[in-house]
Amino acid sequence: MWITLIRGRIDEREKSAIIKSIAMGIYFSILIAGFSGGAIRGLVGFIKHQYSYKNVGFNLPYFLAMMIISGTIGLLVAAAVKELGLSFLGLTNFTPALALVIGYAGGDFLENVYKIILKKP
């Protein structure tokens, strides 16, 4: 399929399939970046908690659950911003790097909303 694209002999159906596969690849990388941003936020929160309190043990199942939840929140926030078509700092293209930042910020935002609702410091 790619060779026919390079040579210029391609019908509309093949062209549509190529464009669709490229778009899905970009969308998948944006979702992975959003998940990574949320997971990084979860890791930072976990490390902060470990160093803020004395004698805190490491609980692997809790750590893994928090990483998955944080990553999922980052993924959902990045997907929502992508689908809404919002621009950020004048950028109209939504890149994986921007998805990573949005995933991190989305996790941080939801954590702070949680603290406000439960009135925790």
2 versus 111: the higher-pLDDT residue is: 111
Q: Does 103 map to a domain?
A: yes
The model's pTM is 0.68
Q: What is the DSSP string of the chain?
A: -HHHHHHT---HHHHHHHHHHHHHHHHHHHHHHHHHHHHHHHHHHHHHHHHHSTTPPP-HHHHHHHHHHHHHHHHHHHHHHHHHT--BTTB-S--HHHHHHHHHHHHHHHHHHHHHHHT--
Q: Does 2 map to a domain?
A: no
**Which residue segment(s) compose the domain that 108 sits in?**
30-118
Q: Does 16 map to a domain?
A: no
Which tens digit of pLDDT belongs to each residue from 56-92?
777 788 778 877 887 888 788 777 877 787 766 676 6
Total structural domains within the chain = 1
Q: Does 42 map to a domain?
A: yes
